[in-house]
Amino acid sequence: MDDERRPLVSMLLIAYQQPDTVARAIRGALAQTYSPLEILISDDASNDNTFAAMQAAVAGYAGPHRIVLNRNPHNLGIGAHLSYLVGRSKGELLFVAAGDDVSLPQRCETVARAWLSHGRRPDLIASALFDMDGGGAMHATIVPSELQRYRSVKDWLDEPPFVVGAAHAWTRRLFDRFGPLPVGVVAEDLIMVFRAIGSGGAITLPEALVGYGRGGISRRLRNLNAQDVTARVLKNNRHALVEHEQLLQDARTMGQLDAVQTAFDAKLKRERFIREVFAAQGIGRKFGIALRASGVPLGLRLRMGLYAAVPGVYAPFFFLKRLVSRGR
């Protein structure tokens, strides 16, 4: 790659409550063979030793890359955290990196070459990943959807792609066109792929360029009582409503609002029903909402209505589930 053609790229490495893995993630970032590269390393207001581990990992670094170390004063969440770092970065290509994953040394080099070979047209480049265990050993390859097959928003709606944001790079122009991701967005990968498909397009590279940490802060927790289920449902509901509103806003920017709004109609009805039934006061009002929620599947209405109004009815089920869990 000619030095004059090399774009400045930025790696946005975010972490939250990951003191045991973030140093490994930072070593992967510092080992990148590509230059010019700036690496923004940012802690999202962790209340443990994550930021101290970051400081120790970059102490004494004298390599070619520009390092920016940041600690947020309060927690922003994934989408807003990345948006904040985009504002502090200068690269034409923006690489996402998480505090429990590891970027292989050739990641930025390989992606930048692919972007240039495609005439800088794709707005998002994804790659395959390695399944990585807690000790850092790489296992089977995780292969996302071939994003080059998606030529329009209709393709995205017909078959939403399987994507993993830990191995994504976006163009700055894509972010500038659609704007920052709001607080509450956790599925930033789905949103950015949607934006790219409706803009300059997206491609997937078959080479695994990231070690994807098993578990992590996004892992699904076991539900051993009704309170656990309720907390998970409400958390997912908050994120889904924010993300779907953002997708509708992005569709409006693309001139595709009508098609996307029609496709999202049933999903939004379900999510708005969940918000309403849990927010209502009194058992009678909760059941009334559940009975009147047209367009929402009956099974979901009954299940959510019971969790919202009389969660105690599930106590025997969770008692048996805990017994089974202890016996394993």
Which residues, in sequence order, are CB contacts of 239 under 8 Å at separation 6+? Answer: 184, 185, 186, 187
Domains of the chain, earliest start first:
3-213 (3.90.550.10), 226-327 (no CATH)
Average pLDDT over residues 129-154: 94
**What is residue 49's three-state secondary structure?**
coil
Which residues, in sequence order, are CB contacts of 235 under 8 Å at separation 6+? Answer: none
The b-or-e profile of 32-55 (16+ CB within 10 A means b, else e) is bebeebbbbbbbbbbeeebbebbe
Tens digits of residue pLDDT in 22-60: 999 999 999 999 999 999 999 999 999 999 999 999 999
pLDDT top residue among 215 and 186: 186
Kindly indicate the confidence band of residue 217, based on its pLDDT and cuts at 50, 70 and 90: very low
pLDDT of 222 reads 60
Average pLDDT over residues 78-85: 96
Q: Is 132 exposed, middle or buried (0-12, 13-18, 19+ CB in 10 A)?
A: buried
CA distance 50 to 99: 9
- Specify whether the CB–CB gap between 75 and 146 falls below 8 A: no
- Cα 128 to chain centroid distance, Å, stands at 16
pLDDT of 191 reads 96
- Cα 191 to chain centroid distance, Å, stands at 9
| Mean model confidence pLDDT for the chain | 93
pLDDT of 314 reads 85
Residue with tokens 């894509």: 174
Kindly indicate the confidence band of residue 158, based on its pLDDT and cuts at 50, 70 and 90: very high
CA distance 133 to 186: 23
Kindly indicate the confidence band of residue 289, based on its pLDDT and cuts at 50, 70 and 90: very high
Tens digits of residue pLDDT in 220-270: 456 678 888 999 999 999 999 999 999 999 999 999 999 999 999 999 999
Count Cα neighbours of 124 within 13 Å in the Cβ-side half-sphere.
Answer: 31
Kindly indicate the confidence band of residue 117, based on its pLDDT and cuts at 50, 70 and 90: very high
Which residues, in sequence order, are CB contacts of 307 under 8 Å at separation 6+? Answer: 226, 229, 230, 233, 278, 314
* Packing angle, helices 283-292 and 257-279, rounded to 10: 150
89 phi and psi, to 5 degrees? -100, 170
